Structure 1
Amino acid sequence: MKKLFVLDTNVILHDSGAIHNFQEHDIVIPITVLEELDKFKKGTEEINYNARTFVRELDKLAGQGLFDNGVSLGKKKGKLYIEPGKPFSDAMNMSFPENIPDHRILAVAEFFVHKYPKRKVALVTKDINLRMKAKSIGIPAEDYETDKVQDMDYVAKEGATEFLDIDTSIIQRFYDESEISADEVKLPTQPEGHEYYLLKNGSMGVLVHYNPILKLFERIEKEEVYGITPRNTEQTFAMHALLNTDVNLVTVTGKAGTGKTLLALAAALEQADKYDYIYLARPIVALSSKDLGYLPGTANEKIGPYMLPLFDNLAVIKNQFALHSKEVQKIEQMLDEEKLVITPLAYIRGRSLSNAYFIVDEAQNLTPHEVKTIVTRAGEGTKMVFTGDIDQIDSPFLDKRSNGLSYTADRMRGQEIFTHVNLVKGERSKLAEVASDLL
Structure 2
Amino acid sequence: MPKTYILDTNVLLHNPDALLAFADNLVIVPFAVIEEIDNQKRRQDEIGRNARLVSRRLDEMRALGHLSEGIALPNGGTLRVELNHQELADCPPGLDPGKYDNRILTLAQGLRRQSAQTVIIVTKDLNLRIKADVLGLAAEDFYSDKVDYHELYKGVRELFLASEELNTFYQENGLPWNGPTAFYPNEFVVLKSLDNPSQSALCRHIGRHLHPLRHEQAVTWGVKPRNKEQKFALELLLDDSVQVVTLVGRAGTGKTLLALAAGMEKVLEQNAYCRFLVTRPVIPMGDDLGFLPGTKEEKLRPWMQPIYDNLEYLFRDADDPSDLIDDLLHRGTLELEALTYIRGRSIPSQFILCDEAQNLSPNMIKALITRVGEGTKIVFTGDPEQIDHPYLDASSNGLTYLVEKLKGENLAGHVTLFQGERSRVAEMGASLL
Fold agreement, TM-score > 0.5: yes
Q: What aligned pairs does 1:238-277 form with structure 2 within 5 A after superposition?
A: 238-272=233-267, 273-277=271-275
Task: Please state how far the C-alpha of 1:172 moved relative to its aligned partner.
Answer: 3.1
Identity %: 38
Distance in 2 of aligned mates of 1:78 and 1:290 = 41
Distance in 2 of aligned mates of 1:328 and 1:275 = 23
Q: What aligned pairs does 1:298-337 form with structure 2 within 5 A after superposition?
A: 298-319=295-316, 321-323=317-319, 333-337=327-331
Q: What aligned pairs does 1:218-297 form with structure 2 within 5 A after superposition?
A: 218-220=211-213, 221-272=216-267, 273-286=271-284, 294-297=291-294
- Partner SS for 2:184: coil
Deviation per residue, 1:12-35 (Å, 9 max, x gap): 101112111111001111100011
How many residues end up aligned between the 2 structures? 424
1:133 has 2:126 as partner? no
Counterpart residue identity of residue 330, structure 2: D
| Residue 83 (structure 2) aligns with | 84
| Residue 152 (structure 2) aligns with | 154
| Residue 194 (structure 1) aligns with | 186
| Residue 109 (structure 1) aligns with | 108
Distance in 1 of aligned mates of 2:310 and 2:374 = 27
Closer, same or farther: CA 216–333 of 1 in aligned 2, 3 Å? farther
| Residue 119 (structure 1) aligns with | 117
**8 Å contact kept, 2:12–2:50:** yes
Task: Please state how far the C-alpha of 1:174 moved relative to its aligned partner.
Answer: 3.2
**8 Å contact kept, 1:160–1:233:** no
Name stretches of at least 5 consecutive residues in structure 2 with no aligned partner: none
Q: What aligned pairs does 1:173-184 form with structure 2 within 5 A after superposition?
A: 173-183=168-178
Q: TM-score, normalised by structure 2?
A: 0.92
Name stretches of at least 5 consecutive residues in structure 1 with no aligned partner: none
Deviation per residue, 1:238-297 (Å, 9 max, x gap): 1101111221101100000001110011111111110011111101014678695x3344
Deviation per residue, 1:345-393 (Å, 9 max, x gap): 2233344410011000000011101111111121110001110000011
- Partner SS for 1:197: strand
**8 Å contact kept, 2:156–2:190:** yes
Closer, same or farther: CA 333–300 of 1 in aligned 2, 3 Å? closer
Distance in 2 of aligned mates of 1:248 and 1:40 = 35
| Residue 206 (structure 1) aligns with | 201
Counterpart residue identity of residue 275, structure 1: Y
Counterpart residue identity of residue 80, structure 2: Y
**8 Å contact kept, 1:160–1:198:** yes
1:399 has 2:400 as partner? no
Counterpart residue identity of residue 284, structure 1: V
Deviation per residue, 1:303-332 (Å, 9 max, x gap): 21111001111111112x3538xx999866
**8 Å contact kept, 2:90–2:106:** no
Task: Please state how far the C-alpha of 1:204 moved relative to its aligned partner.
Answer: 0.9
- Partner SS for 1:19: helix
Task: Please state how far the C-alpha of 1:335 moved relative to its aligned partner.
Answer: 2.7
Counterpart residue identity of residue 108, structure 1: L
- Structure 1, 403-412 or 85-94: larger mean CA deviation: 85-94
Distance in 2 of aligned mates of 1:48 and 1:150 = 29
| Residue 209 (structure 2) aligns with | 216
Counterpart residue identity of residue 237, structure 1: F
Task: Please state how far the C-alpha of 1:300 moved relative to its aligned partner.
Answer: 3.1
Distance in 2 of aligned mates of 1:83 and 1:109 = 10
Task: Please state how far the C-alpha of 1:160 moved relative to its aligned partner.
Answer: 4.3
| Residue 67 (structure 1) aligns with | 68
Distance in 1 of aligned mates of 2:151 and 2:402 = 14
Distance in 2 of aligned mates of 1:424 and 1:288 = 26
Q: RMSD across aligned C-alpha pairs, in angstroms?
A: 2.3
**8 Å contact kept, 2:275–2:333:** yes
1:13 has 2:7 as partner? no
